[in-house]
Chains A and B, each alone.
Chain A
């Protein structure tokens, strides 16, 4: 589920005032546990999920797991 948003380079973490970095992030849903590469703040760990990812690939995986 690796995801690089088209405009994510422009975003930074407002809390830590740091640029986002691509990192391995754990995601969980129902019985599923994965590690995926997502943009996040290296300091506070806030993970950036844009609309395309949330309503596209992420939703697809959610639905796939729900039907397991």
Chain B
């Protein structure tokens, strides 16, 4: 994994970028924090923030020309926050007696300050604080310059005098009525280590560096109105402060230019959308300044501009309180650990890899891609926790084993001859399709692994529909596309799977794959771009819906698009057309189509972190009062488990009489295996009229399983065949413990890398399960 590139991507995230108000404030008052303190009526904390960033805060806070307000995002929704008025209120309610600061010994050098106005005084005070010996040269008989113009216009004379006194009280030399001309300046430049020129005008043109304010390569630095060329008070103060930083750097012999890009006013890369916020007008003052309640209410209008688009859409980022920049730092740390604990593992395996973050990001930062790459790196380095994805990968192996996997060409015309003689059968679209068979497989129906597991009875119907409606032979291919391996970061396994699919495709003379599962579509596009694919749902739109009695209760549904289809807008439209054709109304969710969310299965988060998966489920099902309509088997499974009425498209296309489709419990993990095997059996027997080589595995022992144990079996990812194997070993070899008081048995069996335990009681010819659990740790019995 390229960690430098990773960190670069993290740095692009604008989550931490300052708001425009702070970026446009020449001294960068932390305005969001400031307003947050005012909102909470913590005036003293707000005061401290002013004191920290504002030179002569008691003065500036009262007369600042507040460039922050003009750029305030709130301006687009009711009116800018009255930041300047709030500063005045804070100066009134938050003042405290400052702690005495002990001056540093003055041994760092001599600096002359020309001009005792705001910028000069700022530079003087800043450099004095750092230990420079300061002399101020002022042409008039008093310090303060144009600040005196503000007396009775925001400032009182007493306040100004008081502030000037704080300067005078410092150990600086103050030379009043000392105008400086060019000749005198030359002398000062030799006499002092550096000179600051803060006069509003100068007799001859000077050339200075716009970020350091150094005049050419000399020891002269400039600031104030000479530089700002505006009336702005805050810009003047800022320039004095920045020139002082340059002088300090110059005299300390360090770079004048390093890391100063964001001094003064700058454009923040932050991108903020105010549109979601309701317009709120500013709070009116009832007196000269805001009273504390008014101030707090006014500050509460601040929307705290921060880019949280990805976080708002993603319950994973919210659960872990992560922004992409912070997430990237955690991954970087985790990738660099040699000895120690990889604390980020759980988080990395809790992402649904659904891609909404990238969709929401102004800069297309894809945490999905970053996290996926991290998982691949973890697998490669042997650092992926085995327990996270083991069950899903075993499930994939099952689907690609002979217990489910199947490849068949369309039954040939020759083999189907007998069907053509029965009038009723021969009129069916399916048999007509068989009659037109050419022997060349143009299409291969690939229903994936989860759809047959959830809808075992519909696969045959879909296949017959396809044969009957599509021009060209349609074969079938049962198996798993490899999505679990992809999500688990198992590149080697994924490549192996891709090669196996490619081999079948070649052997079948490169047919178009008909896919019904959103994850299959995603995987085929990502790994098998050479294979032409068609979506089953697109085909229904094009060829007409199957001849069935559709549910005719008019109802409005909200469609939850599968996250794997995010970029597939044609598919979104097809699904909506089918739903509309069936007579249902559609109400779109806020997060829909290319902005859809994950149901909680994606990225295998369902196996790696069940709490996180539940959080996805609960958030999504709470987004609509309507019944949901999905077209991915796992979406249906999870939403129904979460208690939400949810239809799968197949529930509507192939309605059944066995109860309410929207609440029908989906099969258990074991039943999913069983159903897949059953699909293979049904197809072989009823379509290809073959006797399956492999018979369905029947349970050896009759079990009685109380509901709470059933739930444990599911929650702990234990299969019935694991339980049967434990029991078989226990019964045949007596390898078990016995509790004479309760009559219970406890037996264990190691299967592959997991030890399964079953606690049971025997009752005549049945076994009553009391509990099941497992561990991965191996116990050496010797």
A49 to B775, CA, bound (A): 9
A7 to B343, CA, bound (A): 35
Q: How many whole Å from B767's CB to the nearest CB in chain A?
A: 15
Chain A contacts for B385, CB-based, 8 A: 63, 66-67
A36-54, CB under 8 A of B: which get 1 and which 0?
0010100011111111001
- Say if the beta carbon of B748 comes within 8 Å of chain A: yes
Chain B contacts for A49, CB-based, 8 A: 748, 755, 757, 775, 779
- Would you call A26 and B780 a contact (CB within 8 A)? yes
Name the residue of chain B whose CB is nearest to the CB of A66: B385
Q: How many whole Å from B489's CB to the nearest CB in chain A?
A: 15
A23 to B386, CA, bound (A): 29
- Say if the beta carbon of B777 comes within 8 Å of chain A: yes
A6-17, CB under 8 A of B: which get 1 and which 0?
010011111100
Chain A contacts for B736, CB-based, 8 A: 14-15
- Say if the beta carbon of A4 comes within 8 Å of chain B: no
- Would you call A68 and B342 a contact (CB within 8 A)? yes
- Would you call A47 and B779 a contact (CB within 8 A)? yes
Chain A contacts for B777, CB-based, 8 A: 27-29, 58, 61-62
- Would you call A14 and B740 a contact (CB within 8 A)? no
A67 to B741, CA, bound (A): 41
- Would you call B737 and A28 a contact (CB within 8 A)? no
Interface size range of chain A in the complex: 35 or more
- Would you call A54 and B775 a contact (CB within 8 A)? yes
Name the residue of chain A whose CB is nearest to the CB of B344: A67
> DSSP majority for the A interface?
mixed
Chain B contacts for A66, CB-based, 8 A: 345, 385-387
Residue from A11, A29, A45, A62 in contact with B739 in the complex, judged by beta carbons closer than 8 Å: A11
Residue from A10, A26, A67 in contact with B343 in the complex, judged by beta carbons closer than 8 Å: A67
Q: How many whole Å from A5's CB to the nearest CB in chain B?
A: 11
A63 to B386, CA, bound (A): 10
- Say if the beta carbon of B547 comes within 8 Å of chain A: no
Name the residue of chain B whose CB is nearest to the CB of A64: B341
Chain A contacts for B343, CB-based, 8 A: 67
- Would you call B737 and A12 a contact (CB within 8 A)? yes
- Say if the beta carbon of B507 comes within 8 Å of chain A: no
- Would you call B776 and A29 a contact (CB within 8 A)? yes
- Say if the beta carbon of B774 comes within 8 Å of chain A: yes
Chain A contacts for B345, CB-based, 8 A: 66-67
- Would you call B737 and A27 a contact (CB within 8 A)? no
- Say if the beta carbon of B746 comes within 8 Å of chain A: yes
A15 to B735, CA, bound (A): 6
Name the residue of chain B whose CB is nearest to the CB of A38: B779
- Would you call A28 and B780 a contact (CB within 8 A)? yes
Residue from B740, B742, B775, B782 in contact with A58 in the complex, judged by beta carbons closer than 8 Å: B775
A-B pair number, CB within 8 angstroms: 97
Chain B contacts for A50, CB-based, 8 A: 746
Chain A contacts for B782, CB-based, 8 A: 26, 45
> DSSP majority for the B interface?
mixed
A54-B780 CB under 8 A given contacts A11-B738, A11-B746, A12-B737: no
- Would you call B773 and A54 a contact (CB within 8 A)? yes
- Would you call B780 and A13 a contact (CB within 8 A)? no
- Would you call B781 and A14 a contact (CB within 8 A)? no
A47 to B346, CA, bound (A): 30
Name the residue of chain A whose CB is nearest to the CB of B753: A29
B329-358, CB under 8 A of A: which get 1 and which 0?
000000000001111011000000000000
- Would you call A47 and B341 a contact (CB within 8 A)? no
Docked complex: B744-779 residues within 8 A CB-CB of A = 745-746, 748, 755, 757, 759, 771, 773-779
Name the residue of chain A whose CB is nearest to the CB of B382: A30
Chain A contacts for B259, CB-based, 8 A: none
A68 to B734, CA, bound (A): 38
Chain B contacts for A46, CB-based, 8 A: 735, 737, 748, 781
Residue from A11, A13, A27 in contact with B779 in the complex, judged by beta carbons closer than 8 Å: A27
- Would you call B774 and A14 a contact (CB within 8 A)? no
A40-B781 CB under 8 A given contacts A49-B757, A66-B345, A68-B342: yes
A15-B733 CB under 8 A given contacts A51-B757, A67-B341, A67-B342: yes
Chain B contacts for A54, CB-based, 8 A: 757, 773-775
Chain A contacts for B735, CB-based, 8 A: 14-15, 44, 46
Name the residue of chain A whose CB is nearest to the CB of B341: A67
Residue from A20, A28, A55, A61 in contact with B773 in the complex, judged by beta carbons closer than 8 Å: A55
B380-409, CB under 8 A of A: which get 1 and which 0?
000001110000000000000000000000
A58 to B780, CA, bound (A): 14
Q: How many whole Å from A53's CB to the nearest CB in chain B?
A: 8
- Would you call B738 and A14 a contact (CB within 8 A)? yes
Docked complex: B559-614 residues within 8 A CB-CB of A = none
Chain A contacts for B759, CB-based, 8 A: 51
A25 to B780, CA, bound (A): 7
A51-B737 CB under 8 A given contacts A66-B345, A67-B343: no
A13 to B779, CA, bound (A): 16
- Would you call B740 and A59 a contact (CB within 8 A)? no
A sample of 10 cross-chain residue pairs with beta-carbon separation below 8 angstroms, ordered by A number, consists of: A10-B739, A14-B745, A15-B736, A26-B779, A29-B778, A44-B735, A63-B385, A66-B385, A67-B345, A68-B341
Binding site for A on B (CB under 8 A): 340-343, 345-346, 385-387, 733-742, 745-746, 748, 755, 757, 759, 771, 773-782
**Pairs A-B, 3 closest by C-beta atoms:** A66-B385, A26-B780, A14-B738
Binding site for B on A (CB under 8 A): 7, 10-15, 20, 25-30, 38, 40, 44-51, 54-55, 58-59, 61-64, 66-68
Known: A11-B738, A48-B737. 20 other contacts (CB 8 A): A10-B741, A11-B746, A12-B738, A26-B779, A27-B778, A29-B777, A29-B778, A30-B386, A45-B781, A46-B735, A49-B748, A51-B773, A54-B757, A59-B775, A62-B776, A63-B385, A66-B387, A67-B346, A68-B340, A68-B342
